[in-house]
Structure 1
Amino acid sequence: MSDINRKLRTYFDGKIVRKDLTKSIKEGANVPVYVLEFLLGQYCSSDDPSIIEEGVANVKRILADNYVRPDEAQKILSLLRQRGSHTVIDKITVNLNIKKDTYEAEFSNLGIKAIPISEDYPSKFDRLLCGGIWCIVQLEYEYIEEDKNASPIHIRKLTPIQMPHVDINELKQGRKAFTKDEWISVMLRSIGMEPDTLTEREKWLLLARMLPLVENNFNLCELGPRSTGKSHLYKEISPNSILVSGGQTTVANLFYNMARKTVGLVGLWDCVAFDEVAGINFKDKDGIQIMKDYMASGSFARGKEEKSASASMVFVGNINQSVDVLLKTSSLFAPFPPEMGTDTAFLDRMHCYIPGWEIPKFRPQHFTNDYGFISDYLAEFIRELRKEQYGDALDKYFRLGKNLNQRDTIAVRKMVGGFIKLLYPDGEYTKEELEEVLKISLEMRRRVKEQLKKLGGMEFYDVNFSYIDNETFEEFYVSVPEQGGGKLIPEGMCNPGQVYTVAQGKTGMLGVFRLESQMMPGNGKFERSGLGSDGKCKEATNTAFNFLKANSNRISGSISTTTKDYIINYQDLQGIGMTDKLALPTLIALSSVALGKPVASSLAVLGEISIAGTLIKVDELANSLQVCLDSGAKKVLLPIVSAADIGAVPSDLIGCFNLIFYSSAEDAVYKALGVE
């Protein structure tokens, strides 16, 4: 018996179950996992194979004989009348009838109401009054002619199948016996995963999926390949979360039904998860606005009043392309429907973005056959932990860097608090353990901010998230793995005639364009490829060639526009549509290939010239420099007419480059080629 199992036996006996038994019965019986696991915890709590076999047989028999299927309700009632007594497994809700001053039970699958029940049960098992729980109930049937108004059905004995209440202190005491790694293993096995088949990073990402269940009003997004179990936790494991499949929904269903005056899903569940985000669709026009309001504040206005709720929002969906392609061509929020995926105000409300592409596609060996908590126990203590707050835990050892705005700070604090509740519910952790939690929390929020910067430009430029150690005052920066490497503008020398420019594409977005040139003997022809049919782009390239013809001697006597042919290929590296700001980059590319001199390493060319060689200043200078930084440029060639706009650019952005100003078209060529 492993150490972990021995400890579970000692501290959590009766609250653990072997997960392979759940799998084997679940495949044949359509009962909630938490009902099944409670019975298995009762009958199979042993390591003796014969006891387990007998226990499984018992559980199967109990389910076959006593579980009420809704379509067989009348058959069960008839059986009860014939025999005079019968035991059923059903979901029971208890209400207090104020007029009669009695408690009455309602049976979900059996479909009967107003059955008198002793007040001992609701006072002992308070969850009967809060939405109901699954129970094993012994029923009796006795019809009395004289009292026709009385119910002939009576409850002899009721035994809750779900946890009637959770002692959170018992959990906190039990946690002290486990190391951090052991506890992570227990938590992952409780949701059915086998930690021994996962890397350390994958374990943390799977734990992050549980944050919406343990934190109030937490907004999480996970996009990734298919079959990585994105929606499994919210559908199967937790009885406190609901999965909205297909995405079609209404404001009445989700938030508040004005006609019935009832609160929707956000008021009834701890967590509302949307499967397949691409299909999210509100029938009401104001649906997304109300959702934005709710995601930011946890409240929403309907009619004359404002309602509050604590449900977390989860958005899961599939990414169809590779992440590299998405990062270059659009954003990681691309799978969202257009009205959400381009709305920076909506996306800014996401606290956490789990990189689903890092989680492996699940195979049978990823699912555990070992002991974990009964799902219902796990769900209930997680629900109890929602009442506690650890958001200020990081203040003892660290503070957050200056690049985090208020929304970023709230998101990071929520995640730090959530991870602490999941991993250290007893509130005992070291500075190193807290730092580990803080790093992953900063990364999950930075992923959201990086994409916002792509979509919203300068408004979200401050993405260099960091935290500062309160003792040493050292500042540590946290990066996002997928942003590293893959720079569009490479380091080191390129071939002569290869030029990178940053400009506005046809779609209005800023991006990087590459020019690659060749020169061969000929009679002064200039060929272009990659421009498509846009006349403005061709006009700009002609401007450059005509300028070179007229002024080549002023650049260098060895450039010939009559005995050589030139070919330039134009590439739109980010799929935003070709730019028409091509005259200056084309002139630099032609001069570079004609002279056999490469442009300076890591250089981005900004600015444009007219046919007469007049300099045209850069539009959106701050945003353009941000794109240069993201693309890997170290030097930036700028027209002197843009110098006046430098004041509007954040100083830490300017500090990232060697800015090279040019005062004429010829000057730009000299400085790009490093000729003084």
Structure 2
Amino acid sequence: MKLEKWESILVDQFGSAAVNKQAVLENKIESVPRYVSEYIIGVYGVDGITRATIDEACDFIRAHQFSGQQLGLLKQKLVDEFLAKVLDKFKIEIDIKKNENKVLMSTAQLPNIIASPSLAKEYPRLLVDGVWGLGELRYYPPGYHFMNEDRENKEGIIELQKFKPLQLSDISFELYQQARQTFELESWINMLISTMGLNYQNYELREKMILLTRLVPMVEESIFLMEFGPPGTGKTYCYDNISAHSRVISGSSISEAQLFYNLPRRAPGLIMQYDVVLFDEVDKVKNRGIDENVVNKLYKYMASSTFDRGEVEMSSTCGIMMVGNIPSEQEFQEKLLFEEILHPRLRTEAFLSRLAGLIPGWELATIDKRDVSITRHYGLMADYFSEILHELRRENFQTLLNQHIDLLGANIRDDDGVRKIMSGMLKLLCPHRQVDQEVLALVADFAVELRQKVLNQIFFLTGNSNYEVKLSWRFKDE
């Protein structure tokens, strides 16, 4: 199939980071995250993705990945051969008191694993959120000296002695910014939608803006959004499959210790480990609600990006996203949305006023037919895109907005929410910082609308006239 003009530019600008998204999505390897699947398929299909290269990639994974049920096989291999190459997500934790490290594996959870000291220096991401890769494990049976040390070895020690990342460990954000200059805005938006795995030809500009808003918490620090829509519109898809820095809480069921900080274990919670945490299916917890202690902590966190655990105040820039399904058995009425879907703890004025915006996912069609809904075009490799989104969090677009935009009728929280949405959208659309008035107007209109929907919902619920306001904006030179 002949490439469109923007696809040719993409391949020319990004090289191996640009992939045939249709091919990699149709042949996704289910046992690993999508960004890892795309990486492995890309390695074997560097000269083109064919049935043979897909089979090679699958054979590689089958030979080196051990599920929880196959843990006994891996242990036996280590006992028999003393060496094993394992595909998994590896993370290194440092015990300062003992001056030791330990290795955690997400699937094959072996005991007594430590890492060669050089690995943490060579791959620092192993110390942060972990990295998917091929690890070479060496087994030292009880009684064997370990690494020429006098260390006791009573229970057997496993060493992660070599490691090869199977996701990108380094990117050039500057090259990404430079490449944006070669695209028209429409083509760049189409590329982003294709990178998300969707067929851009199925969506009008407004629908594309709604889809891109799902990425805003990945690029903008400390932002809190909600989205509601029909089942099957992909509300959680990008959080599960695009970014290694996002975490989905299935069924919105989580404890205070898991989300914030586990005091007995002195272990950071999800908010301390990820860029964004998504509460999935909040509509299904309407009766029992999210844990009351969690909601109480979120009140403060959503206002100040800080929370208390024990006698210590901690901070994070992790965003919060809440999504849910709209009941299909009755006619949708936006005015009754929060009342019908949210538990009383989540529909208080104090909680809802902290939201930056409400994404109208109900305007999107269901993704039902794969051959129609899924992209047929090129896009950026998921792992590359994940790291770009993470890097964009460091960028500051607030100064640019302050120079050009005035918000009217807005209080402090309105102003903060609108500007965060605008900042996130500009990071996605114009990472090169070349922003004209047409783009500013597009983003400002959309951001104001999303915040206005929050105010409308609070007014519908409470009748408080303070929320019966109409937000607007203008250019500073008008």
TM-score, with length taken from structure 2: 0.88
Q: Residue 429 in 1 paired to residue 435 in 2?
A: yes
For the residue of structure 2 that corresponds to 1:35, the secondary structure is helix
- Cα distance in 2 between the residues matched to 1:294 and 1:155: 38
Task: Report what 1:55 is aligned to.
Answer: 53
Match of 2:440, as an amino acid?
Answer: L
- Give the SS at the match of 1:392: helix
SS at match of 2:50: helix
**Does residue 456 in structure 1 map to residue 454 in structure 2?**
no
Show the counterpart of 1:271. Answer: 276
Counterpart for residue 415 of structure 2 = 409
Does the aligned pair in 1 maintain the 2:326–2:332 contact within 8 Å? no
Identify the range of structure 1 (287-296 vs 251-260) with the bigger mean alpha-carbon deviation: 251-260
3-state SS of the aligned residue for 1:226? coil
The equivalent of 1:3 in structure 2 is 5
Task: State the partner residue of 1:596.
Answer: none
Deviation string, structure 1 residues 185-206 (Cα, Å, up to 9, x no partner): 2211122111112111111100
1:192 aligned counterpart, secondary structure: coil
- The answer for the alignment partner of 1:368 in structure 2 is 375
Range with greater deviation from structure 2 (267-276 or 190-199): 267-276
Contact persistence 2:256–2:294 (CA under 8 A): yes
> What are the superposed Cα offsets for residues 302-349 of structure 1, whole Å, 9 maximum, x if unpaired?
33222212221111112226997624xx53312333414541221111
Q: Structure 1 vs Structure 2: percent identity of aligned residues?
A: 29
Q: State yes or no: 1:226 paired with 2:231.
A: yes
Q: Provide the C-alpha distance between the structure 2 equivalents of 1:285 and 1:381, rounded to a whole number of angstroms.
A: 35
1:171 aligns with 2:176: yes
Task: Go from structure 1 to structure 2 and tell me whether the alpha carbon gap of 1:392 and 1:324 turns closer, same or farther (over 3 Å shift).
Answer: farther
- Please tell me whether the aligned partners of residues 258 and 303 of structure 1 are also in contact (alpha carbons under 8 angstroms): yes
**Is the 1:46–1:52 contact (alpha carbons within 8 Å) kept by the matching residues of 2?**
no
Say which SS state the counterpart of residue 220 (structure 1) adopts: strand
The match for 2:474 is 468
Q: 1:292 maps to what in 2?
A: 299
The residue number in structure 2 matching 1:648 is: none
Alpha-carbon distance in structure 1 between the residues aligned to 2:222 and 2:213: 15
Q: 1:397 to 1:465 in 2, by over 3 A?
A: same
* 3-state SS, counterpart of residue 213 of structure 1: helix
Query: Are 1:251 and 1:282, in contact at CA under 8 Å, matched by a contact in 2?
Result: no
3-state DSSP of counterpart to 1:177 = coil
Q: Distance in 2 between matches of 1:333 and 1:270?
A: 26
- Aligned mates of 1:286, 1:143 — CA distance in 2: 46
1:272/1:103 CA distance change after superposition, 3 Å: closer
Distance in 1 (CA, whole Å) between partners of 2:324 and 2:340 is: 7
1:45 aligned residue:
46
SS of the aligned residue for 2:109 comes to coil
Distance 2:191 2:22 in 1: 15
Q: Distance in 2 between matches of 1:446 and 1:187?
A: 26
Give me the whole-angstrom Cα distance separating, in 2, the residues matched to 1:311 and 1:85: 39
Shift of 1:115: 4.7
Match of 1:446 in 2: 452
1:23 to 22, 25, 46: 25
Task: For residues 437-495 of structure 1, give each alpha carbon's deviation from its aligned partner in whole angstroms, at most 9, with x where no partner exists.
Answer: 11111111111112222233353345222112222x2xxxxxxxxxxxxxxxxxxxxxx
Identify the residue that residue 394 of structure 2 maps to in structure 1.
Answer: 387
Correspondence 1:241 to 2:246: yes
Q: Which structure 2 residues correspond to residues 325-404 of structure 1 after superposition, within 5 A?
A: 326-327=333-334, 330-340=335-345, 342-363=347-368, 364=370, 365-401=372-408, 403-404=409-410
After superposing the two structures, state which structure 1 stretch, 405-414 or 369-378, moved more: 369-378
Q: In the alignment, is the contact (CA less than 8 A) between 1:95 and 1:105 conserved in 2?
A: yes
**Deviation of the 1:160 alpha carbon:** 0.4
Give runs of aligned pairs for residues 92-107 of structure 1, distance below 5 A: 92-96=90-94, 105-107=103-105
> In 2, are the aligned partners of 1:16 and 1:41 still within 8 Å (CA)?
no
Residue by residue over 1:34-83, the C-alpha shift from the partner in whole angstroms, topping out at 9 and shown as x without a partner, is 21111112121344xxx633321210110111122222123123234444
- Specify the code of the residue in structure 1 equivalent to 2:454: V
Q: CA deviation at 1:141?
A: 5.5
- Secondary structure of the residue aligned to 2:132 is strand
**Which SS does the other structure have where 1:314 is aligned?**
strand
List per-residue Cα deviations over 1:392-435 (Å, max 9, x = no partner). 3223333111x111111000110111011111112122121111
CA distance in 2, matches of 1:139, 1:257: 30
- Give, as a single letter, the amino acid of the residue that structure 2 aligns with 1:230: K
- Contact 1:173–1:426, Cα closer than 8 Å, also in 2: yes
Change over 3 Å in CA distance of 1:232–1:335 after alignment to 2: farther
Change in Cα spacing, 1:179 to 1:113, as seen in structure 2 (3 Å) is farther
Change (3 A) 1:118 1:457: same
Residue 149 of structure 2 is matched in structure 1 by none
**Structure 1 residues 263 and 136: alpha-carbon distance in aligned structure 2, compared to 1, 3 A threshold:** closer
* Aligned AA (1:264): G
1:32 equivalent in alignment to 2:33: yes
Between the aligned partners of 1:16 and 1:52, the Cα distance in structure 2 is 16
Contact (CA 8 Å) 1:34, 1:376: kept in 2 or not? yes
Contact (CA 8 Å) 1:16, 1:373: kept in 2 or not?
Answer: yes
Q: Which amino acid in 1 is paired with 2:356?
A: H
Displacement of 1:140: 5.0
CA contact 2:210–2:359 (8 Å) conserved in 1: yes
Deviating more after overlay: 183-192 vs 10-19: 10-19
CA distance in 2, matches of 1:338, 1:146: 58
Q: 1:8 is matched by which residue type in structure 2?
A: L
RMSD: 2.8
CA distance in 1, matches of 2:443, 2:42: 33
Letter in 2 for 1:122: A
Q: Tell me if 1:125 matches 2:123.
A: yes
> Structure 1, residues 593-646: CA drift from partner, whole Å, max 9, x if none?
xxxxxxxxxxxxxxxxxxxxxxxxxxxxxxxxxxxxxxxxxxxxxxxxxxxxxx
Q: Structure 1: which amino acid aligns with 2:200?
A: P
Deviations 1:493-514 (A, max 9, x none): xxxxxxxxxxxxxxxxxxxxxx
Query: Are residue 188 (structure 1) and residue 193 (structure 2) matched?
Result: yes
Show the counterpart of 1:527: none
- In the superposition, relative to structure 1, how do residues 24 and 115 fare at CA in structure 2: closer, same or farther (>3 Å)? same
Higher RCO by CA contacts (8 Å cutoff, separation 6 or greater): 2
When you count helix as a share of all residues, which structure comes out higher? 2
Q: Following superposition of structure 1 onto structure 2, how do residues 607-618 of structure 1 map, counting pairs within 5 Å? A: none
Aligned to 1:318: 325
Could you tell me whether the CA contact under 8 Å between 1:191 and 1:233 is conserved in 2? Answer: yes
Deviation at 1:118, TM superposition (A): 4.4
TM-score computed with the length of structure 1 as normaliser: 0.64
Q: Using the alignment, how far apart are the partners of 2:251 and 2:264 within structure 1?
A: 25
Secondary structure of 2:228's counterpart equals: strand
Which deviates more from structure 2 when the two are superposed, residues 142-151 or residues 59-68?
A: 142-151
Bigger Rg, structure 1 or 2: 1
Q: Alignment partner of 1:93: what SS?
A: strand
Is the CA contact (8 Å cut-off) linking 2:119 and 2:162 kept in structure 1? no
Distance 1:76 1:263 in 2: 30
Q: Secondary structure at the match of 2:86?
A: strand
Aligned mates of 1:316, 1:338 — CA distance in 2: 13
Deviates more, 1:184-193 or 1:161-170: 161-170
String of CA shifts for 1:76-106, please: whole Å, max 9, x gaps: 2323444454432122223456678676644
Note if contact 1:404-1:462 (Cα within 8 Å) is conserved in structure 2: no
